Every structure is written in structure tokens, then in C-alpha cells.
Amino acid sequence: MSTLFEVSNLRKNFGALAVTNDVSIRMAPGDRLALIGPNGAGKTTFVNLVTGHIKPDAGRVTLNGEDVTGLRPAARVQRGLIRSFQVTRLFPDMTPEEHVALAILQRDGKAGGMAGHYSAKSSVMAEVREILSLLGLIELSHLKVREIAYGQQRLLEIALAMALKPKVLLLDEPAAGVPQLETARIERALDQLPKDLAILMIDHDMDLVFRFATRVVVLAAGTVIFDGSPQAVTKDQRVREAYLGSYANAGSAA
């Protein structure tokens, strides 16, 4: 397998708490990896570490063979390491079209001068339409964000990530807070994403995880306790104890 993205021996302590405890993960183009684990396991911290939003105490992150551990978040984004956030960050009075157009302009370093005139730029608009279609949002292009369903807002966030031309896409709970009926829509949209894109998705919806992922990594108390197939994960005793048991017992996880 050709390695696109590699995290080696990543460590982070918050005070005495080892939130990321020697975590190593490798991804190849086209991987569909689910990162699961109980609340507080360190999943979001892992994403923050690899994107450069927080600084690791030790370890290395490489993208396409390049060590990006010391780079700022924006420099990693330029290289195709893109994340979405667990909490929504959209502007309620802007349309999906405006959001995606601005993301494209920002990516190309043109947000300042041209933002008011983006609809005149046919190449930008063609790309906006392509991305909104990909995520199943084209019919909603001109509505305000506050007028569209929450599940579709989450899809718009994935659209914004796609506008940045990811090679590795990190999705932090894309279905969090989305009503069950709408998660099918998210699943369909994820299915449409380019096959060579490497995607790491954090989620608590085990049905979604098992349908999406070809590989599952389980994090518990900052440590990787499992890295393998979705078929094997449910049979793993440590995983059952650390996660699936508590998941089943709790009924659902926040």
C-alpha cells in the first residue's frame, strides 16, 4: 500500500493526562477509515494535532512523504490536509453558493478583491455548481443557511472542505446532531466523494461507521487499541470492553 498520510508516535499531554498516547496511523489514497472510541478518548484532539491546531509533545505527521509536523494549519491545508469541525461554523444569512464560492476564492488567494464579483467568474461558478451537486445541495444553492435542514448544513461543511481540494479529509462527527432520517443523505454524499481521496471519519453512529469504513481504528484513553477491519472490530474483546459495551449499554453516545 502506498502511504499518503502517516502519523507516527504522536503524543500530547494535558497536564498529567495523556490525551494522545503514542498514536500511529497510516493511510493510503482511497482509504475509508473510521476513528471511533468513547467520549473523551482523544479523537478530536488527534485531529487538532494532525492539522496543526494544537502542538504535539512528540511524534511526526507526514503527507506525501513530507514532514508537516512543524507547519501551520494553513500550510497543511494548502498541501491537501483538510478537516471539518465537530461544531458547525456556517453563516446563517449566507447561501450555500456564497459559502462555497468564498472557499474557492480563499483557496486561490483571491478572497479580498473579488469576493463581491464571484458570480461573474464563470470558472468559479462552474466549480461551485460541481461541488454543490456532488454533495446533493444544488437545489439549495440560493437559500440562506438558516433555511436549510441541519443535516444539509453539515453537508455544506463537507462541501467547503471539498472546495479546498483535499487529498486527506478528516471529518469530525459529520452526522453529530443530525436526525436519523437525514443521516442517509450524509451517507449517500460520502459515497459520492472521489475514490482516491483518503477519508478519516469520526462518528458514533455505528451503522454509519460500518457501512462507510473499510478500516476501523479504536481509540480508548488516548491509546489505539484496535486497527483492523470492521468485521474484526466487533469481535475484539478489548474493544467490546472499552467501547462497544458502553455504547450498547448507554444506548447512544453524545
Ligand X SMILES: Nc1ncnc2c1ncn2[C@@H]1O[C@H](COP(=O)(O)OP(=O)(O)O)[C@@H](O)[C@H]1O
- Contacts with Mg ion, residue ranges (CB under 5 A): 43-44
**With respect to ligand X, which residue has the nearer C-beta, 49 or 159?**
49
Distance of alpha carbon 239 from alpha carbon 145, whole angstroms: 39
Residue 47 binds: one of ligand X, Mg ion, none (C-beta under 5 to 8 A by kind): none
**With respect to ligand X, which residue has the nearer C-beta, 97 or 173?**
173
- Per DSSP, the residues of 98-160 read HHHHHHHHHHTT-HHHHGGGGGG-HHHHHHHHHHHHHTT-GGGTTS-GGGS-HHHHHHHHHHH
Beta sheet of 58-63, edge-to-edge order: 17-27, 5-14, 58-63, 66-67
Does residue 171 sit in helix, strand or coil? strand
Site membership for ligand X, residue 95 (CB under 6 A): no
Site membership for ligand X, residue 198 (CB under 6 A): no
Total residues contacting ligand X by CB under 6 A comes to 10
Residue 45 binds: one of Mg ion, ligand X, none (C-beta under 5 to 8 A by kind): ligand X
Site membership for ligand X, residue 14 (CB under 6 A): yes
**With respect to ligand X, which residue has the nearer C-beta, 5 or 243?**
243
Q: Decide the pairing of beta strands 168-172 and 58-63.
A: unpaired
Q: Of 19-78, which residues contact ligand X (CB under 6 A)?
A: 19, 37, 39-45
Residue numbers of the site for ligand X (CB under 6 A)?
14, 19, 37, 39-45
